[in-house]
Amino acid sequence: MSALKERNKMCHSNLIFIVLFICTDYVTGDISTSLALSKLNSGATFFAGPYLDGSGVSNVTTQIGTHAYLPCKVKQLGNKSVSWVRVRDDHILTVDRMTFIADERFQSFYVESSGVWTLQIKYVQARDAGIYECQVSTEPKISARVHLHVVVPRTELIGDSDRYVKAGSAVILRCVVRGALEPPSYIIWYHGTQQIFTESRRGWKTQLDRGAPDLDGDIHSTIGSLIIESTRKKDSGNYSCSPSNSPPITVSLHVINGESSASAVTSSARSLFDDSISMFKQRNLQILLRHRTFVMLLVLVIYAQLSCHVNYRL
């Protein structure tokens, strides 16, 4: 009799457990459903798998010789892979952190805290410009594109490419770097193939003016100057201005004696005059840019004084 009671008690316990389990599952499911419905009603978007944060084509601009970083933000990646493809030739560059191109400048890395896969291109070249695609291995595939723009600075001479000066006179050779995102860290001058070290040459010095405004309105220009206080005949030859971030450019210096031809002297005078005019414009433009408000006020004062003077005479 006691065994029968014990069996009935166990059956009742199992039944209560099953009822509680069903009720708990029902309540939990009902709450989850209610939460989901409330989110749907609020206009929230649900993604069952990986998705890209952002759409369209993003743009990245970098300067030749520097490093470029192309971002791709993927959420809920799970066990899927992220690949980078160069669109112009459909070359697969990387899959996850593995590189599939012989060019070691390309590398992909992942920052888990932000969910960003970044394609790094070291020492960017002009030919690296173009569109790159970040692809996620879903079915169907999802992807985002990044357009890489490569800025190539240019080096120009200030003055003629042939300079004529009399022996014993001073000369200033100048070059300007334009169109750079960042100014050059240095400009090296060469005489022929030999680098010029001004410390070992008396009366020689170099100068670097970063961020100087020029006549084209390019505030990122950098002017490099080689100054020779007293030229000698042996100083004749080709001088190369070689910036750290743009191609070199060459100017020919001709040191002439007093009996040299009139045409050479005329050319020398013209070069010096053009150089002086160019520097005058550079300096005055810089003054105007810095003191534009003061100049406008000065013009207004002069105009007012002239008006008063004319009215007084009338």
Quote the pLDDT of residue 31. Answer: 38
Confidence of residue 132 (pLDDT cuts 50, 70, 90): very high
Give mean pLDDT, residues 274-302: 52
Quote the pLDDT of residue 194. Answer: 94
Quote the pLDDT of residue 41. Answer: 47
pLDDT of residue 235 exceeding 50, the answer is yes
pLDDT of residue 288 exceeding 50, the answer is no
Quote the pLDDT of residue 208. Answer: 92
CA distances from 122 to 108, 185, 208 (A): 11, 18, 27
pLDDT of residue 4 exceeding 70, the answer is no
pLDDT digits (tens, 9 = 90+) for 155-179: 999 999 999 999 999 999 999 999 8
In which region does residue 73 sit, left (phi positive, over 0), alpha (psi from -120 to 50) or beta (all else)? Answer: beta
pLDDT digits (tens, 9 = 90+) for 33-70: 343 334 444 444 555 677 787 666 899 999 999 999 99
pLDDT digits (tens, 9 = 90+) for 135-157: 998 888 889 999 999 999 999 99
Quote the pLDDT of residue 293. Answer: 52
Confidence of residue 112 (pLDDT cuts 50, 70, 90): confident
pLDDT digits (tens, 9 = 90+) for 92-107: 999 999 999 999 999 9
CA distance 187 to 210: 11
Give mean pLDDT, residues 258-276: 51
pTM attached to this predicted model:
0.60
Confidence of residue 21 (pLDDT cuts 50, 70, 90): very low
CA distance 104 to 102: 6
Quote the pLDDT of residue 138. Answer: 87
Give mean pLDDT, residues 289-313: 53
Closest CA to 246 of 123, 68, 65, 67: 65
pLDDT of residue 85 exceeding 90, the answer is yes
Task: Tell me the backbone φ, ψ of residue 260, rounded to 5 degrees.
Answer: -70, 170
DSSP string of 197-217?
A: -GGGSTTEEEEEEET---TT-
- Residue 153: exposure state from Cβ atoms within 10 A (0-12, 13-18, ≥19): buried
Q: 91-95 and 98-99: which strand pairing?
A: antiparallel
Quote the pLDDT of residue 220. Answer: 72
Which of 4-18, 37-51, 56-70, 117-131 reaches the highest mean pLDDT? 117-131
User: Is the pLDDT higher at 113 or at 41?
Assistant: 113
Quote the pLDDT of residue 40. Answer: 40
Quote the pLDDT of residue 165. Answer: 94
Which of 16-20, 256-260, 275-279 reaches the highest mean pLDDT? 256-260
Quote the pLDDT of residue 188. Answer: 96
pLDDT of residue 114 exceeding 70, the answer is yes
